[in-house]
Amino acid sequence: MYGHGGKIFLSSALAAVFASAAFAGFPMSGGDAAVRRNVVASGGAIASGTGLSLNCALAEAVVSTFSGAGFKFSSGLLSISAQPGTVISITSVSKATGTLELAWIAPGLDGFLGAVNGGYYRIDSSSEPAHVFDPTVFIAEFSTSVTPGDLQAYVLGGLQPNTTYYTRVYLADSRKMVAERSAPGDESTLANLPVSPAVSGVYSSSVSFVWSIPPGDAEGYALDASSTSFGSLFPGGLIYSSATDQGLQLTLTVTGLAPLTSYYFRLASLNWQQDVNFGTIMLVRTLEAPVPLPIEGLASLPNALARSVLFNWSNPVYADPMGVLVQMSTAPIIQTAANGTDYHDGDLMADGAVILSSAAAAEQVHTGLLLNSTYYYRFSSRNTAHAYSVFVSTECMLDLPPMSPGGLQASLNPARTEVALSWSGVVSNHDGSNFRFAGEPLELSRYDIYRATGVINPVWTFVASTAASSTGVVLPVSDPDIPCYYKVSALDSRGEVADSMVVDTGRNLYAVAPDMVSRIKIPSEMARVVTPGGNSAGNPLFFAARENAGDVGGKVLKSVEFIPFQAPSGVEVANFRLDTPDLDIILRYDAVNGQVVPSGFTASAASLSSFKPSIATEEAASSLGAFWFNGREYVKVFGKVDPESQTVTVRSAMPGKYQIRSLARSSGVNFDVSQMSTKVITPNNDTINDSVIFTLENPRASAFSGKIYDLKGAFVAEMLLGTALADTLEWNGRAGGSVVPRGVYVYQITAEGKTFTGTIVVIR
CA-CA distance, 51 to 104, in Å (whole number)?
A: 36
Residue 577 to residues 387, 566, 652, Cα–Cα distance (Å) = 65, 14, 9
675 vs 74, higher pLDDT: 675
Structural domains of the chain, ranges and CATH numbers in brackets: 22-80 (no CATH), 90-188 (2.60.40.10), 195-285 (2.60.40.10), 296-397 (2.60.40.10), 414-506 (2.60.40.10), 508-602+611-665 (no CATH), 673-762 (2.60.40.1930)
Reference 205, options 290, 283, 129, 282; nearest CA is: 290
Give me the pLDDT at residue 167, please. 96
What DSSP character marks residue 330? S
Let me know: does 105 contact 152? Beta carbons within 8 Å: yes
Per the confidence metrics, is the pTM higher than 0.75? no
CA-CA distance, 188 to 149, in Å (whole number)?
A: 26
CA-CA distance, 108 to 9, in Å (whole number)?
A: 23
Percentage of residues in the chain having pLDDT higher than 90: 70
| HEC secondary structure over 236-249 | CCCEEEEEECCCCC
Reference 487, options 458, 514, 513; nearest CA is: 458
Reference 581, options 457, 721, 484; nearest CA is: 721
* Residue 15 reports pLDDT greater than 70: no
Q: What is the mean pLDDT of the chain?
A: 86
Percentage of residues in the chain having pLDDT higher than 70: 87
CA-CA distance, 395 to 249, in Å (whole number)?
A: 8
Tens-place pLDDT, residues 31-55: 333 334 344 433 333 333 444 434 3
Alpha carbon 122 to its chain centroid, in Å, reads 33
CA-CA distance, 557 to 548, in Å (whole number)?
A: 11
Written as one string, the DSSP assignment of 370-421 is PTT-EEEEEEEEEETT--BPPPEEEEEE---PBPPPPS-EEEE-TTSSEEEE
Tens-place pLDDT, residues 190-219: 999 999 999 999 987 789 999 999 999 999
One-letter amino acid for residue 348 of the chain = L
* Residue 486 reports pLDDT greater than 80: yes
Mean pLDDT to the nearest integer, 473-486: 93
Tens-place pLDDT, residues 582-631: 999 999 999 998 999 999 887 666 566 656 678 999 999 999 999 999 99
CA-CA distance, 646 to 304, in Å (whole number)?
A: 36
Tens-place pLDDT, residues 569-585: 999 999 899 999 999 99
* Residue 64 reports pLDDT greater than 80: no
Angle ∠(286,287,290) on CA atoms, nearest 5: 125
Compute the half-sphere exposure of residue 459: CA atoms within 13 Å on the CB side of its CA: 1
Reference 414, options 488, 496, 480; nearest CA is: 480
Reference 240, options 213, 271, 208, 272; nearest CA is: 208
In three-state secondary structure terms, 526 is helix
* Residue 307 reports pLDDT greater than 90: yes
